[in-house]
Chain A
């Protein structure tokens, strides 16, 4: 059998997904046996023009990690889509926007102001901001355009498979490697994870869910045997897809929702509102108001990994006539 051509690309993400690929340890040798890597910016020196020179669909599988937050990433998403038979949204950022999509609570102008003007580590007295084009005496320099809105990969191009996780766990990566090796791929559109919720897979003792105070993880040491929600810690398990191997739960930390919404749930944040508020043990308006206030950042907590893929996608931009058509 001819070797598979494999591409790995890193867009708006932290790089952890690339490291996760290496976390399969010696199995990486198996990958090298079945596949030739044609693009992997973190590890190998291939250039974009090498990909551009390829015929369409010349790449068998592309694992694309990171969200799309600038024009370079968008261009690479379109290019890799054209050149790949199978495009996999690899990791929570590519699937749902991930942590970078928390930027959708703000916009380009605010981010530039903070990052380049206000940040105390800056010395930017001229208030220089990144420009798409800059004229210097040697010619014109170009930077990618920074978008107001972080997009998921599937909001830019068609995607065959979704592999959630921050980062995707090793066993799921190996599952995909095995599927590639044997040619037994799931139907397009499949999410390579569990079809159940995290709670469904969680082994902790669950009793009646009634809470009267919300604790942040650093405020108490939770009982490692009992459901974290029942102990008053916001755990995203009820509205998060399982299959992660309970990585956080096993270290006595609550689920943060990186596997995205389970099957049939269109909006992870709204579903978490439902799940959390329903177990408040009070009928008094004042008590409800107190508990609502105890959640420090509801939107950031419930949409921690999923804002770009949520129904509203971002904080509303007021009075903006928008030059980009990415919505």
Chain B
């Protein structure tokens, strides 16, 4: 059986979740590998959530928020934009490839964009293979 990655995605309530919803209602086809967790804001995504996802068996983590300047809470997505790069650098030191964590801005009207991000990420992670903490052991 071919490897089907599990991608946990944290979508902000105001833009990205609506964007994913639009992808659904518009009947855009995209990879079924993404498991959506709705959060109020991308700024709510504690880096601990991302690590916990990997610990619990995720192969990738996708965080989506409103475009810069559009945050419902004005600053939340900026906070995500500061935290995720630092987190990614730390995770790289722990052997987690760059492509496994992705931060993207998806507005409520960007259903197609959400679908293409999910498709692209799914393909990239298929290429990397499964993530198993402590490497197969």
Task: Check A298/B48 contact, CB under 8 A, given A276-B86, A278-B82, A317-B135.
Answer: no
Q: Are A271 and B95 in contact (CB under 8 A)?
A: no
Chain A residues with Cβ below 8 Å from B79 are 277-278
Task: Check A288/B85 contact, CB under 8 A, given A315-B93, A316-B134.
Answer: yes
Chain A residues with Cβ below 8 Å from B57 are none
Q: State the interface size on chain B (CB cutoff 8 A).
A: 30
Residue of A267, A288, A321, A327 touching B48 (CB-CB under 8 A): A267
Residue of B54, B78, B83, B85 touching A312 (CB-CB under 8 A): B54
Q: State the interface size on chain A (CB cutoff 8 A).
A: 42
Q: Are A319 and B82 in contact (CB under 8 A)?
A: no
Complex Cα distance, B136 from A324, in Å, reads: 12
Chain A residues with Cβ below 8 Å from B133 are 312-313, 316
Complex Cα distance, B68 from A265, in Å, reads: 29
Task: Check A317/B90 contact, CB under 8 A, given A274-B83, A277-B83.
Answer: no
Chain A residues with Cβ below 8 Å from B86 are 273, 276-277, 292, 295, 298
Residue of A271, A288, A299, A318 touching B82 (CB-CB under 8 A): A288
Contact with A along B65-90 (1 / 0, CB 8 A): 00010000000001101110111011
Q: Are A319 and B48 in contact (CB under 8 A)?
A: no
Interface of chain A residues 177 through 209 with chain B (CB within 8 A): none
Task: Check A315/B95 contact, CB under 8 A, given A270-B46, A302-B90.
Answer: yes
Q: Are B134 and A285 in contact (CB under 8 A)?
A: no
